[in-house]
Amino acid sequence: MNINVDRSSVAAGDDAYPHAKTVDLPESSTIAEAVAYLRGRKYLAQIAGGKATWVLEVNGSPAAVIAQQRAEPKFITDPTDRLGSFGTDVSLVFKYRAQIDPDDLYDTLSQ
């Protein structure tokens, strides 16, 4: 299954190359597995200081908060949801939220 992936830029120099891409993942992959796959391939930019915060949106809805300083994301949606359950056109967008506290962001989004 082709998944559309994109992310925000973290700085002007980060705009040198487009971030939008398509990745092929099994329809049975979970949201957690997709995030692990992309993090393992260094898709999210690392920033100096090590405290970047990202919101993952799946088809426009917040699904997780990811923090550079944390090994695991905090999921707003069920991390075991299968990519195929979101339809045939799945979009994962990682929005950079600078160095804001990931726990505060999670609390705000999960209300």
Q: At 72, phi and psi to the nearest 5? A: -125, 145
pLDDT value at position 16? Answer: 62
Has residue 15 got a pLDDT over 80? no
Q: At 5, phi and psi to the nearest 5? A: -125, 140
Has residue 92 got a pLDDT over 80? yes
Residues in the chain: 111
Name the least confident of 15-19, 22-26, 55-59: 15-19
pLDDT value at position 13? Answer: 67
Residue that has been written with the tokens 């990811």 in this structure:
66
